[in-house]
Amino acid sequence: MVSSVALLFGAVAAWAVYTYVSGLASNIAKARKANLPYIVVPAHPYNKLWQITFWIWVPLIKRLPKSWWEGWLFVLEPDWGYRGGRKVWEPFGENFLVVGPGAISLFTRNAETIRQVTARRELFPKDTTDYQILTMFGQNVLTTEGSLWRMHRKVTAASFNEKNAAHTFAESINQTHGLISEWLGPDGKGHKTITTAEHDTMTLALNIIGYVGFGLRLLWPGQTLPPDIDPKLAKYGSLEPPSGHTMSFAQALASTLEYLLVLLLVPWSVLKRLPFKWARNSWEAKENYMGYMDEFLQDKIAEVRQGEQPKDSMDIMGQLVRAKYGKSASESSELCDSDIIGNAFIIIVAGHETTANTLHFTFTELANNPAAQRALQKDVDDICGKDDPSTWNYESVINPLLASHLAAAMNETLRLMPAVPEIPKHVAPSRGDQVIIIDGEKHTLAAGMTVGLSAVSVQRNPRYWPTRPSKVQPGQDDLDDFEPERWFRSSDSARDEIEDGDTEDYGGFKGRDTSDSLFRPARGAFIPFSDGARSCLGRRIAQVEMLAALAVVFQKYSIELAVDEWASDDEVEKMSAEERRRLYKKAQDMCRATLRKASSRLTLKLHGGMHVPIRLVKRGEERFVNVVDTDELA
């Protein structure tokens, strides 16, 4: 008896060791064939068990002699791309493979590689199993591949046109007034320390996508619904839960997003029964959200059946409903109701946190870099003048804004802190090995290999970006610094275009968002919105929204880092310019250190309650940003 149990254990152990070793050996063989630098790791960084337990192992491994783990442990820690910086790439160059027993991955900061991968959508698709968690409300454009994706992409892309970009511009202007009132405080004077900037930009982005995407009026604290609102929509805008709900729509949506990771990771049948507060809250949010979305869908179906004309807004839900229930529904009739709700959800998620964080980081970096803020304000004054923002005309200001210091600041934030720091693809498992060419040499990538396009790393790769000496880190170049001015340096790198072979129109904005006098990074070297047919559908919407918000804020205000930690307002009042500069430097150092600790969960942001406190002050009432870095004014 004992011996047969022992035998069984022995057999299982032998089988486990065999699988581990043979898996590793086969992946090492693939790495050799690719002829790229590689490191061998005991567990692959994408291994789920590793991802849950890495925090136990990493400190243990670090107790061993450094030379044993120095060369590979970094890839097993989350956010190595953002936090590790350029240093971790030094031993490898621009591409390296990570070989584990169960998987092999290529990581790249080489623009040529990135171009080939993003251009060949069918050979380098997304690994949709990575996205299964985002299908909880239904399949959608982000989580599908192949012909199913084409169908989703076509029906959603219809809403992303210039007319809707103009609506977004107007609504962003309107909502930014809400943000400013929040930041000025009840007395309307400003000079109040804001620790909730990230939360507030989330509200801003949510209110914008809620209205332009879905016609829903969401409110800032203290606001009330306009009296003439459509009673059907009042239900969603109301701050009190309407009958049949225990939360208002805004609350249900905000909590669903807040508890998104819980909802994604814990099976709902389990979640429902867990006796914890977070479990109850997330369950309640999800139930309410799904209830609202079902009602919203039914309302839209009724509207479309009654032949109601499309609304004068993006009306993404209406667009999807018409694709299925409208008169000309044909190609898209494969769409089911849960797909409609799934796409609505993904557009809210994709369109909200990414934009909010980019805007938050842009505000923060501008507070931290007074010279860049002043340059931006000068452009706002030149382009928009003193006119009331509600009179700004989209067609006439959008191109100048896109060529201004506002767009440069936005680009620079997207370069340093892209919302999606690494874009995951893989070599299609069913299409055989693929050859890519890097610097004239062929490399064979094995079928099934995952490919991580490292946006953070290629966007700081000195090969593609002209550099100058850093002003903050003596002896280094300025690639890790926020320097919007770099977007006005001349570019000698011609943009290499790669033929897509796929000439179909998958929607999204096609026009140029640049003028020739600006720096144009080599194709593949700047990929905050990814590239190719599978790039971000909302790029134009996001840019328009952020530019409008920046223009409205900086037309009348400046943003400064708060210094409460070191000095009271009275103390600052008495300080000389030189003393203020010295004080501000402390806040700047702290700000940089905090931003370096950003991490990526769904998107790159400051997690775990970290924040950079800021203040909104009227232009002319600045305490710091008019006296810091002023040598550049000369």
Ligand X SMILES: *[C@@H]1O[C@H](CO)[C@@H](O)[C@H](O)[C@H]1NC(C)=O
Query: In terms of CB distance, is 184 or 407 closer to ligand X?
Result: 407
Cross-sheet strand order for the sheet of 450-454: 38-40, 95-99, 104-108, 450-454, 422-426
Does residue 141 belong to the site contacting ligand HEM (CB under 6 A)? yes
285, 350, 518, 616: which one contacts ligand HEM (CB under 6 A)?
350
- Tell me the C-alpha distance between 285 and 214, whole Å: 19
Judged by CB under 6 A, the chain residues 242 through 271 that form the site for ligand HEM are none
Strands (E), 37-122: 38-40, 95-99, 104-108
Question: Beta-carbon neighbour count of residue 448 at 10 Å?
Answer: 15
Q: Between 170 and 199, how does the x/- string for binding to ligand X read (CB under 6 A)? A: ----x--x----------------------
User: Which of 94, 70, 74, 71 lies closest to 82, judged by CA?
Assistant: 74
Specify the residue for token string 């809210």: 348
- Tell me the C-alpha distance between 206 and 214, whole Å: 11
Among the candidate windows 179-187, 348-356, 456-464, 609-617, which touches ligand HEM by CB under 6 A?
348-356
* Contact call for residues 584 and 561 (beta carbons, < 8 A): yes
Q: Between 481 and 500, how does the x/- string for binding to ligand X read (CB under 6 A)? A: ------x-------------
State the binding partner of 536 from ligand HEM, ligand X, none, CB within 5 to 8 A by kind: ligand HEM
For every residue of 3-52, DSSP letters joined together read HHHHHHHHHHHHHHHHHHHHHHHHHHHHHHHHTS-EEE-SS-TT-HHHHH
User: Which of 536, 199, 168 lies closest to 356, judged by CA?
Assistant: 199
Which amino acid is it at 120? R
User: Which of 583, 534, 545, 532 lies closest to 561, judged by CA?
Assistant: 583
- Tell me the C-alpha distance between 118 and 122, whole Å: 9
Query: In terms of CB distance, is 379 or 545 closer to ligand HEM?
Result: 545
Q: Between 403 and 422, how does the x/- string for binding to ligand HEM read (CB under 6 A)? A: ----------------xx--
Q: Which two tokens stand for residue 340?
A: 């409609």
Does residue 231 belong to the site contacting ligand X (CB under 6 A)? no
**193-194 and 614-618 strand pairing:** antiparallel
Question: Beta-carbon neighbour count of residue 581 at 10 Å?
Answer: 17
How many angstroms separate the first and last alpha carbons of the chain?
90
Minimum Å gap between C-beta 403 and ligand X is 6
Return phi, psi of residue 265, to 5°: -100, -30
Query: In terms of CB distance, is 433 or 513 closer to ligand X?
Result: 513
Which amino acid is it at 375? A
User: Which of 289, 294, 345 lies closest to 134, judged by CA?
Assistant: 345
Among the candidate windows 157-165, 241-249, 279-287, 510-518, which touches ligand X by CB under 6 A?
510-518
Judged by CB under 6 A, the chain residues 537 through 576 that form the site for ligand HEM are 537-538, 541-542
- Tell me the C-alpha distance between 598 and 98, whole Å: 24
State the binding partner of 260 from ligand X, ligand HEM, none, CB within 5 to 8 A by kind: none
State the binding partner of 521 from ligand X, ligand HEM, none, CB within 5 to 8 A by kind: ligand X
Does residue 459 belong to the site contacting ligand HEM (CB under 6 A)? no
Among the candidate windows 318-326, 383-391, 396-404, 526-534, which touches ligand HEM by CB under 6 A?
526-534
- Tell me the C-alpha distance between 628 and 617, whole Å: 16
Which amino acid is it at 303? E
How many chain residues bind ligand HEM (CB under 6 A)? Answer: 23
Does residue 236 belong to the site contacting ligand HEM (CB under 6 A)? no
- Tell me the C-alpha distance between 369 and 212, whole Å: 32
Minimum Å gap between C-beta 588 and ligand X is 24
513, 566, 579, 618: which one contacts ligand X (CB under 6 A)?
513
* Contact call for residues 184 and 616 (beta carbons, < 8 A): yes
- Tell me the C-alpha distance between 250 and 240, whole Å: 10
Among the candidate windows 244-252, 272-280, 509-517, 523-531, which touches ligand HEM by CB under 6 A?
523-531
State the binding partner of 542 from ligand X, ligand HEM, none, CB within 5 to 8 A by kind: ligand HEM
344, 356, 408, 428: which one contacts ligand X (CB under 6 A)?
408
Query: In terms of CB distance, is 160 or 526 closer to ligand X?
Result: 526
Query: In terms of CB distance, is 297 or 542 closer to ligand HEM?
Result: 542
160, 259, 526, 554: which one contacts ligand X (CB under 6 A)?
526
Does residue 411 belong to the site contacting ligand X (CB under 6 A)? yes
344, 407, 456, 479: which one contacts ligand X (CB under 6 A)?
407
Residue 113: alpha-carbon gap to chain centroid: 22
Minimum Å gap between C-beta 580 and ligand X is 31
Report the phi/psi class of residue 453: left, alpha or beta, with left for phi > 0 and alpha for psi in -120 to 50: beta
Minimum Å gap between C-beta 398 and ligand X is 12
Minimum Å gap between C-beta 245 and ligand X is 23
Question: Quick one: which H or E segment has residue 418?
Answer: none
Query: In terms of CB distance, is 165 or 403 closer to ligand X?
Result: 403
State the binding partner of 358 from ligand HEM, ligand X, none, CB within 5 to 8 A by kind: ligand HEM
Minimum Å gap between C-beta 419 and ligand HEM is 4
User: Which of 247, 262, 253 lies closest to 206, judged by CA?
Assistant: 253
Among the candidate windows 242-250, 268-276, 400-408, 455-463, which touches ligand X by CB under 6 A?
400-408
How many chain residues bind ligand X (CB under 6 A)? Answer: 16
Judged by CB under 6 A, the chain residues 195 through 224 that form the site for ligand HEM are 209
Among the candidate windows 39-47, 190-198, 401-409, 549-557, which touches ligand X by CB under 6 A?
401-409
Specify the residue for token string 């709700």: 341
Minimum Å gap between C-beta 538 and ligand HEM is 2
Which amino acid is it at 19? T
22, 35, 53, 390: which one contacts ligand X (CB under 6 A)?
390
Q: What is the gyration radius of the CA atoms in the chain, in angstroms?
A: 26
Does residue 525 belong to the site contacting ligand HEM (CB under 6 A)? no
Does residue 528 belong to the site contacting ligand HEM (CB under 6 A)? yes
384 marked as part of a ligand binding site: no
Give the CA distances from residue 537 to residues 125, 154, 454, 507, in Å, rounded to whole numbers and listed in that order.
Answer: 16, 11, 20, 7
Q: Detail the residues annotated as belonging to a binding site.
A: 536
Q: Detail the residues annotated as belonging to a binding site for heme.
A: 536
* Contact set with ligand X (CB under 6 A): 174, 177, 226, 390, 403, 407-408, 411, 487, 513-514, 518-521, 526
* Contact set with ligand HEM (CB under 6 A): 141-142, 153, 209, 346-347, 350-351, 354-355, 358, 419-420, 423, 528-530, 534, 536-538, 541-542
